[in-house]
Chain A
Amino acid sequence: DGGITQSPKYLFRKEGQNVTLSCEQNLNHDAMYWYRQDPGQGLRLIYYSQIVNDFQKGDIAEGYSVSREKKESFPLTVTSAQKNPTAFYLCASSALQGARNEQFFGPGTRLTVL
């Protein structure tokens, strides 16, 4: 389970606030991903990055932003434009070029909007 970490574990946000979720990996993986998990919905891809300083939108990118300034880090910002941000957020990473190898998941951040 080690190698990819997320913080915080729980996060509470007031409406109208931006919040940033941290994701760090020491697996030397090239690719990193953010997924959102809602009850009964499985995991949905928000953003992914295959290389430093480059990232791509996933299926539900609206209201989110990311950066990839370092290979080890891929923070996700949930902006006030995201209408229903309460969810469980999972970060993942994989080796080589993209998702053709196993994706390892972090422990997740549970975000609740008050």
Chain B
Amino acid sequence: GENVEQHPSTLSVQEGDSAVIKCTYSDSASNYFPWYKQELGKRPQLIIDIRSNVGEKKDQRIAVTLNKTAKHFSLHITETQPEDSAVYFCAALGGGADGLTFGKGTHLIIQP
């Protein structure tokens, strides 16, 4: 089955700086890669996703890049703000299953 590795587990950045979170996946047939943001005690919320037919997608301060050859994808947050503090999860949809496989999460801390 699919295996997703996510790094780092904790990331602390100064407010206004950029943050990058990286994920790798194992199933070359995977074709859908969402990113979720989860605040403490709340449900995960989709913030951006990318499909395997594109290499990059942007939505205001958030962007995701995908390298299918290397089987990795990354989340980029620019001009970080205090409300960006949360746990972020990457996920991949494997070629043979219909449930997402999640990374273990990155706790993003924005320092004032």
Residues of chain A whose beta carbon lies under 8 Å from any beta carbon of chain B: 1, 31, 33, 35, 40-45, 48, 50, 56, 58-59, 90, 97-100, 102-108
Task: Find out whether the CB atom of A107 lies under 8 angstroms from the CB atom of B42.
Answer: yes
Kindly specify which of B64-72, B76-84, B99-107 makes contact with the partner chain: B99-107
Q: A59-B1, A90-B43, A102-B34 are known contacts. Are A43 and B89 too (CB-CB below 8 A)?
A: yes
What CA separation (Å) do A59 and B1 show in the bound complex? Answer: 9
Task: Find out whether the CB atom of A44 lies under 8 angstroms from the CB atom of B102.
Answer: yes
Residue tally, chain B, CB below 8 Å to A: 24
B85-103: contact bitstring with A at CB < 8 Å (1 yes, 0 no)?
0000101010001111111
A55 → chain B closest CB, angstroms: 11
Seed contacts A45-B99, A45-B101; 13 additional CB < 8 Å A-B pairs: A1-B43, A35-B102, A42-B103, A42-B104, A42-B105, A56-B98, A58-B99, A90-B43, A97-B98, A99-B98, A99-B99, A100-B32, A103-B34
Residue of A nearest to B104 (CB): A42
Residues of chain B whose beta carbon lies under 8 Å from any beta carbon of chain A: 1, 6, 9, 31-32, 34, 42-46, 49, 89, 91, 93, 97-105
Residues of B within 8 A of A40 (CB): 9, 104-105
Residue of B nearest to A91 (CB): B43
- In the complex, the number of residue pairs spanning A and B with C-beta atoms less than 8 Å apart equals 59
Residues of B within 8 A of A48 (CB): 98-99
Residues of A within 8 A of B91 (CB): 43
Q: A42-B105, A99-B32, A103-B34 are known contacts. Are A50 and B43 too (CB-CB below 8 A)?
A: no
Q: A45-B99, A50-B98, A58-B99 are known contacts. Are A103 and B104 too (CB-CB below 8 A)?
A: no
Residues of A within 8 A of B43 (CB): 1, 90, 105-108
What CA separation (Å) do A48 and B46 show in the bound complex? Answer: 19
Task: Find out whether the CB atom of B102 lies under 8 angstroms from the CB atom of A42.
Answer: yes
